[in-house]
Amino acid sequence: GENVEQHPSTLSVQEGDSAVIKCTYSDSASNYFPWYKQELGKGPQLIIDIRSNVGEKKDQRIAVTLNKTAKHFSLHITETQPEDSAVYFCAATASGGSYIPTFGRGTSLIVHP
């Protein structure tokens, strides 16, 4: 089955700095890679995703890159703000069947004002 590794487990940055979270996956059949933001006591919210037919996707301050050959993908947050503080999960899944993502273990991002 799929195995998703996520690093770092904790990331502390100053407001305005950039934050990068990296994930690797094992199953070459995976072709959909969503990123979720989970605030304390709430469910995960999809913030950005990327499919295997593209290498990069950007949405304002958030971007995701995908390297299929190396089987890794990364989340980039620029100009971080205190409200970006949350736990971020990467996931990998193969579309075509039921959407059952394999999640990384999460990264706790702390943005200091």
Residue ranges in contact with another protein by CB under 8 A = 32, 34, 36, 41-46, 49, 51, 89, 95, 98-101, 103-106, 108
**Least Cβ distance, residue 72 to another protein (angstroms):** 18
Q: Which is nearer to another protein, 78 or 108 (CB)?
A: 108
Q: Which is nearer to another protein, 74 or 89 (CB)?
A: 89
Structure tokens at 3: 């195995």
| 39 contacts: CB under 8 Å, gap ≥ 6 | 45, 86, 87
Q: Nearer to another protein by C-beta: 51 or 58?
A: 51
Please choose, from the candidates 41, 9, 28, 36, the residue with its C-alpha nearest in 3D space to the C-alpha of residue 103.
Answer: 36
* CB-CB neighbours of 10 under 10 Å: 10
We find the least distance from the C-beta atom of residue 43 to another protein, in angstroms, to be 4
